[in-house]
Amino acid sequence: MSSRSSLLARRHSGGAARRPRSGNPPPLPGKSRNLLDSVQFALDGIVYAVRHERNVKIHFVAAVVVLVACLILPLDPLGVLMVLGATSLVLVAELINTAIESVVNMTIQGHHPLARIAKDVAAAAVLVSAFFSLGVAWQILIPALSAVYWELQDSGWSRLAGDPVPLLCFGVILLTLGVVVVLAVSHRGPFPPSRLVLGHAALAFGVSAAVLSVTREPLASLLAIPFAAMVSRRHVHTGIHGWPQVLGGATLGVLLSLCLLMAARKVIP
């Protein structure tokens, strides 16, 4: 009887010890609650997909071309939204396909019918999204491209020269894609923490250079450089990264931004 009582007592004490003190479950090991860390992990995933998957590289290059077309073509806001949505859908499908293939390769060794089905269905999702994007391009981009010839005859692009907002918005998107592609091509090995610092500095100084080149507002020009300096200073003070990575990122961002602005000004007089 005493042994049974002691067994019940041990079970009771073990259950009480396993019961959490608060209503929230304990955090999973390795799971970060920091939003910046989550964004960094997501960008690492994009860089990995661009580096190791040929189709992802092709679709990223196509996305850059489509964004440039949206910048220079006379599209209405609904058409631009449809093109951006179709482009994003293709990229999301490619990233999900890469994730599914990685999980299947990790869990299943050798050839398995279920593994083939999973990969085929993921590839089918990419194919469906690609057909949808082609349909959107056929209905929106092709008519706009056919009208370019006649609009260029009458200098129809001059109406966009006085509005820098579309140029800045699309320039930031193209700058982000360009930084991701350059980092994916130039870096090798695992993802060091200094890579994202290089990307942060490139984006900050690239946006600042674009603002200084396009806007005529004195306040915006005065705030552009301190914004980039604050972003870079925050990462240097963590103690993991140094000024060489920040200077390299700043140089990369400024060069990419100036190249985009020069290309846009050749198209938009």
The residue among 6, 80, 96 whose CA lies nearest residue 46 is 96
* Helix pair angle (77-107, 54-72), 10° resolution: 170
**Quick one: tokens of 117?**
């089905």
Q: Which residue is catalytic, options 94, 101, 151, 217? A: 94
**Chain centroid to CA 45: how far?**
9
**Quick one: tokens of 254?**
């400024």
Q: Do residues 177 and 67 touch, judged by C-beta distance below 8 A?
A: yes
**Quick one: tokens of 88?**
């994003």
- CA dist list (Å): 32 to 36, 140, 195: 9, 42, 19
The residue among 131, 100, 99 whose CA lies nearest residue 115 is 100
What's 32's DSSP letter? -
Q: Would residue 217 show up in a list of annotated catalytic residues for this protein?
A: no
Place of tokens 């700058």: 175
Per the document, the length of the chain is 269
Catalytic residues: 94
